[in-house]
């Protein structure tokens, strides 16, 4: 039973990390698109928003992994 519980925790952690990265990347791209539409700079801010969102997402996922490994 303990092995099943740790497997479920691992699956939940991986899902959480993936969700963090996806949501932050899409959010960054969305904000970048809004900036592009405002300042007519297609696709400069879209790409910058996507990259920044991905970076923040990976950092957030790293913190999630660190907290999981600490337990």
| Per-residue pLDDT reduced to its tens digit, 26-63 | 999 999 999 999 999 999 999 999 999 999 999 999 99
pLDDT(1) > 70: no
The two structure tokens encoding residue 3: 């092995």
Tell me the C-alpha distance between 25 and 16, whole Å: 14
Tell me the C-alpha distance between 16 and 57, whole Å: 11
Output the pTM of the full model. Answer: 0.89
- Taken in order 54, 55, 60, 61, the sign of the CA dihedral is positive
Task: Spell out the alpha helix ranges (H) of the chain.
Answer: 2-39, 44-70
């Amino acid at each position: 039973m303990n092995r099943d519980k740790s497997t479920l925790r691992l699956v939940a952690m991986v899902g959480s990390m993936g969700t963090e990265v996806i949501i932050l990347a899409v959010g960054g791209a969305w904000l970048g698109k809004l900036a592009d539409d405002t300042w007519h700079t297609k696709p400069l801010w879209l790409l910058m928003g996507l990259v920044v969102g991905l970076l923040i997402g990976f950092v957030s996922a790293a913190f999630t992994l660190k907290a999981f490994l600490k337990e």
